[in-house]
Amino acid sequence: MKKILNIKYVLIGLGLSCFTVISCVDLEEEVFSQVTADNFFQTDEEFISALGAAYSSLGGLGNHSGLWSINELASDEIVISTKGGDWFDGGVLLQLHQHEFLPDNPFFQNSWNFLFGGINTCNRLIFSFEQLDNPNSAAFIGELRALRALFYYWALDAFGNVPLVTDFTSTESPGTTPRQEVYNFVLSELNEVIPLLPTAKDGTTYGRMTRWAALTIRMKLYLNAEVYVGTPQWALAAADAEEIINSGPYSLMPSYRDNFVINNAGSTENIFVYPYDKVFAGGFNWVMMTLHIASQSTFNLTQQPWNGYQTVEEFYNSYVDPEINPGVQGPVWKGLALEQSEGTIDGRLSNFLVGPQFRADGTRLEDPGVEPFDATGRNGDPDGPPITFMPYLNEIWPQGLRQAGARIAKYEFEMGGTNNMSNDFVIFRLSDVILSLAEARFRLGNTAEALALVNQIRDRAGNLDPFTTLTEENLLAERGREMYVEMTRRQDLIRFKKYGDAWWPFQGMNRPKRVHQPGSHLELFPIPEPQLLANPRLTQNPGYN
């Protein structure tokens, strides 16, 4: 029987290996064997073990200050308010939410390093495998090319004009490649490797690049083609989405929430994930990033959370405001008061942690450091010291309330958990593909099919009243509700030409709202300043000079 080797166990093995190396103190150990290309890359298991280094590059997705953070904080989903002396951080967080991007913001450098670290690792392994006279190597090279295409897809989406490097042996500093050429490269790579990739959904392919994951990347390239290269490709996006839906081994989970539980490896919906593990594959830190310091007692956590990431109030209300979401009613926050009305409830409210908070023993959780309340409501928390997470945000600077903002609860928090979560991080999911097909059909004028697809997602969300008509507004809103914090919102807002609309409270209550037009240079992030200083062949994106 062929041994099944799951990429999660490869990542765990890498973690154990690192631990073993760190634990060694005898630097003069006798070497009994030496791993070389000639004697190691002989079996599938040995190739997969080497692949683990490339997949482990994805481990930076679930933590603070990287690619996920810049996408979410620059959208209308997430904000980190300055809470007195906490979370100002030199203003870099406010820059992201206010769309005042500066090239020296360290979040851009972190994101760049994440992307090109992954690309470099893929290039190194592709080079190593190409030196082998082994028939097994071709399939694994195809897998690495697909993973490299994912990193480049993210790079062209975030930074647009980036270096295009595929030769691991090159010693010359790369120049900037136009976004059109990077797009063409990613598309060409995917076209070549998709026929070579596995189609199975089982333990051998979990957390690895399959035909379906690569098709999803290509679908997203086509979906955003008008933004990336100026030419819409709705029909091609629809074709890829249909293949995934009709031929792929995926189906919607009966419960939206089950895609994000601690043990979510059994999801029938998740197409591509990064398998985190709190001991051996750490880095998924959302429990720390969003929960209140005192929430440690709610979940008996081993460490204190940081009380950082919050949901923008208007975005939270998009789930429950009948004017935005017809037929859905539930808890609607008006200022500091919670109003409860009857009606169907969107099950995706599980994305948020709101309301009174309690210790694990059932007693009320309190914040002894709560801000003193004054009559203006600007400097104080009328619901403290007993902690109540309010979707209401009084301001994002300088005195954001410590209890303000619905907290990110999309992934299940573990009782007795650590600063690292073990939920597998969802990168691609079937419901995104269904909504992408709906959008492509809508753009092509087939509104009846598009409406049926969107209502399929709404029905799974909790028997919500179906839409009777489909508009750009409610299609974008439905994508937002379904795909909350899955690193799609900034991209969606740009594609729908809503990125930077006047209704978006960039500045909270402190300053006039910032508005920029579709096609603004702010739709791309700046090339990080440290990269420009290190490599004079790079060219800064327009508008940042």
502: enclosing H helix or E strand: none
Return the pLDDT at 513: 63
User: If DSSP codes are grouped into helix, strand and coil, which group holds residue 271?
Assistant: strand
Query: Is 115 part of any domain?
Result: yes
pTM for the predicted model, two decimal places? 0.91
For residue 203, the Cα-to-chain-centroid distance in whole angstroms is: 23
Domain range for 261 is: 7-25+35-280+426-513
* In-domain check, residue 55: yes
Side chain identity at 288, as an amino acid letter? M
**Residue 409 DSSP symbol:** -
Please, are residues 499 and 525 in contact by the beta-carbon 8 Å criterion? no
Cα separations (Å) of 325 from 153, 241, 317?
A: 32, 26, 9
3-state secondary structure of 57: helix
Whether 299 is in a domain gets the answer no
Assigned domain for 419 exists: no
Q: Is 426 helix (H, G, I), strand (E, B) or coil?
A: strand
Centroid of chain to Cα 58: 11
Q: Which residues make Cβ contacts (< 8 Å) with residue 519, sequence separation at least 6?
A: none
Encoded tokens for 235: 């029909």
Cβ neighbours of residue 131 closer than 8 Å, sequence gap 6 or more: 37
The domain total for the chain is: 1
The pLDDT of residue 34 is: 46
Rounded CA separation 495/228 (Å)? 10
463 within domain boundaries? yes
Residue 441 lies in a domain: yes
| Per-residue model confidence (pLDDT) at position 321 | 54
Give the tens place of pLDDT for each residue, 122-170: 999 999 999 988 888 999 999 999 999 999 999 999 999 999 999 998 8
Q: What is the end-to-end Cα distance of the chain in Å, rounded?
A: 60
3-state secondary structure of 262: coil
Please state, in angstroms and rounded to a whole number, the distance separating the CA atoms of residues 327 and 241.
28
For residue 153, the domain's CATH number is 1.25.40.390
In a domain, 39, yes or no: yes
What is the model's pLDDT at position 502? 63
* Residues 371 and 386: beta-carbon distance below 8 Å: no
Dig out the tokens for 329 from the structure: 């009613």
Q: Residue 325 in contact with residue 318, Cβ under 8 Å?
A: yes
63, 244, 281 from 18: Cα distances, Å: 20, 37, 11
Ranges in the chain, pLDDT < 70: 1-41, 321-344, 372-384, 502-514
Rounded Cα gap, residues 220 and 150, in angstroms: 11
Residue 384 lies in a domain: no
